[in-house]
Amino acid sequence: MKIVFPHSHLITSARDVEFRQGDTKHPEPVLVPEYPWEGVLTYLYGSVVKTAIYRMWYQANGIYVGYARSRDGIHWHKPLISRSKSGQTNTGATVTLAHGDGALCADAKPTERSKSNVVFDLHMPSMIHDPDDRERPYKLFGYSDTGYCAAFSSDGIHFTPAAGNPVIPLIKFPAPSGGKTWFSDVAPVFHDKRAGKYVSHVKTYQAGRDGRVRRCVGYAESADFSQWSAAETVWAPGDDEDRLAQIRGFNWADFYGLCGFNYGDGYLGMLWLFFIDHEIERGTHEGKIEVYLASSPDGRKWKRFSDTPLIPLNPSGWDSGMITTANLPVFDREKILLYYGGANMSHGVGEPGNPYDESIHRFKVGLTTLRRDGFVYAWSRSGCLQTKALQCRSGLIRINADCTKGRILVAVMREGRRIKTFELAGVNVLGRRFYTGTTGEIVLNVTIENARLCSLEII
């Protein structure tokens, strides 16, 4: 039984304890545009999965699903794979952005004319890897001009579209003031293993009190990845999000996307918060996007965990304009890997009157990390946690904590009597084991003094 924060039914009380968000750092990009069909855009929207190697499905040029692989998760190779005939066209000598901004790259090399690393044509793809499904372990979900489509693969490279595509019809939202119709496109997917279903946080729209159209977080679910429920809005931006936008010099904020996932006894999500300056008369909105941590006890009622971004924009970096994430984190042995797309341009670039500058504008893929179990940690100057009565089968407990500036005391209790106390002080440990000297039902009293407790496991 493992306790991670902020949601755990195994904790009965927490006195003078704060739950704080883990820290990330700005890295250098790990994947950049190289080929003609990528244009200036290689970004996540997309997915990273770890099997025997790391595999990435990313958005190339806004309309292609590119494929890359890596042995270490840092150095990536884009294998040139002959493209299938499932509705895809061969890569031409030049490409044009979806916004119609003209050719961006020179002619392809002769060996690249009939091959590419493109495995499918979809916008904003999410990949689910189900290793227990031997026939179609790779499940792809994304947006097209007909709605949301699914596809299946045995190897993650060759895909068969779902027979019923689009599995969710195109969602349109006419603006109340007239003149514009907004289309849902973002729809990150995850496999909710606790509930035994697939969930997509489909972007939806609502009209605010002032008639302004707002991007919201929607919810659709499926038992088989082929038959999906209609999308419904479960979270709309409000005054708190607008306050954050105005602090940053913008006018309001929308929810551009939410990448949810199971975590502990609840759910966490990477919220793409869109800070908006203004609406473009014949286009979208001008503004910037950065990523915040969200939490939910049930997968439907969400809130932002903190006013501090989980992955902030870097004012002078390659990721200074927009940040969007892979649909899921990668949980490695010692770290949580957060792959994300970063742009050095704002959301309105590419609209009429504000074209891409081919010499400087880029969307790249970066990697930032958290320590294992480090999305949220328990911190206190001098506080304590108490667990329920728990079954300790092997007599072991395991602790992930940073006590470099303080200490943590773990008292093992049975029937109100203290059996043993363990102390961690002046150390930073990922999985320190302690032997309790007993098996059966125990209660843990954990004292935290100027330290970070990331997780506690009873084995």
Could you tell me if 139 and 239 lie in one domain?
A: yes
Query: Do residues 432 and 355 both lie within one domain?
Result: no
pLDDT at 211: 79
Segment among 35-39, 49-53, 71-75 with least mean pLDDT: 35-39
pLDDT tier, 90 (very low <50, low <70, confident <90, very high otherwise)? very low
Domain end: 342, 371, 400, which one?
Answer: 371
Same domain assignment for residues 84 and 133: yes
Same domain, 385 and 365: no
Q: What is the pLDDT of residue 83?
A: 53
Look at residues 153, 90, 163, 89 and name the one whose alpha carbon lies nearest to residue 125. 153
On whether the CB atoms of residues 358 and 96 are closer than 8 A, the answer is no
Kindly report which listed range (93-107, 122-136, 244-258, 395-409) carries the lowest average pLDDT score: 93-107
Q: List the Cα angle 330/336/341 in 5-degree steps.
A: 65
Of 311, 338, 371, the residue that ends a domain is 371
Q: How confident is the model at residue 52 (pLDDT cuts 50, 70, 90)?
A: very high
Q: Residue 147 maps to which CATH number? A: 2.115.10.20
What percent of the chain has pLDDT above 90?
Answer: 81
One domain, residues 365 and 381: no
Confidence at 28, pLDDT banded by 50, 70, 90: confident
The number of beta carbons lying within 10 Å of the beta carbon of residue 384 is 18
- Close Cβ partners of 400 (under 8 Å, ≥ 6 residues apart): 371, 372, 373, 429, 430, 431, 432, 453, 454, 455, 456
Is-contact 165 152, C-beta < 8 A? no
Look at residue 396 and tell me whether its pLDDT is greater than 50. Answer: yes
Structure confidence at residue 39 (pLDDT): 86
Whether residue 387 is found in the same domain as residue 363? no
Predicted confidence (pLDDT) at residue 411 exceeds the cutoff of 60: yes
- Shared domain for 118 and 151, answered yes or no, is yes
Are 339 and 271 in a shared domain?
yes
- Average of pLDDT values for 141-154? 95
- Predicted confidence (pLDDT) per residue in 181-237, tens digit: 999 999 999 999 999 999 999 999 999 878 789 999 999 999 999 999 999 999 999
Give the pLDDT confidence score for residue 104 in this predicted structure. 28
Please give the average per-residue pLDDT across 234-249, as a whole number.
97
Q: What is the CATH number of the domain that holds 438?
A: 2.60.120.430
Of the listed ranges 104-118, 132-146, 432-446, the least confidently predicted one is 104-118
Is residue 82 very low, low, confident or very high in pLDDT (cuts 50, 70, 90)? Answer: low
Identify the domain boundary among 345, 371, 397.
Answer: 371
Please report the pLDDT score of residue 344 as a whole number: 95
**For the chain, what is the mean pLDDT?**
90
**Range name among 60-74, 79-93, 161-175 with the lowest pLDDT average:** 79-93
Distance CA 340, CA 364 (A): 8
Predicted confidence band of residue 354 (pLDDT cuts 50, 70, 90): confident
Residues 6+ apart with CB under 8 A from 434: 396, 397, 398, 399, 410, 422
**Residue 176's pLDDT is what?**
86
Distances (CA, A) of 57 to 128, 154, 160, 311, 406: 11, 15, 16, 21, 42
**One domain for residues 302 and 405:** no
- Do 310 and 383 sit in the same domain of this protein? no
Same domain, 365 and 389: no
Q: State whether 14 and 124 are in the same domain.
A: no
User: So what's the pLDDT on residue 94?
Assistant: 26
Choose the weakest-confidence range: 61-75, 108-122, 162-176: 108-122
User: How far apart are the two ends of the chain, measured CA to CA in Å?
Assistant: 7
Indicate the number of domains in the chain: 2
| Tens digits of residue pLDDT in 93-129 | 222 222 222 222 233 333 445 689 999 999 999 999 9
Supply the range of the domain harboring residue 437: 2-21+377-458
Question: Sign (positive/negative) of CA torsion 282, 287, 187, 158?
Answer: positive
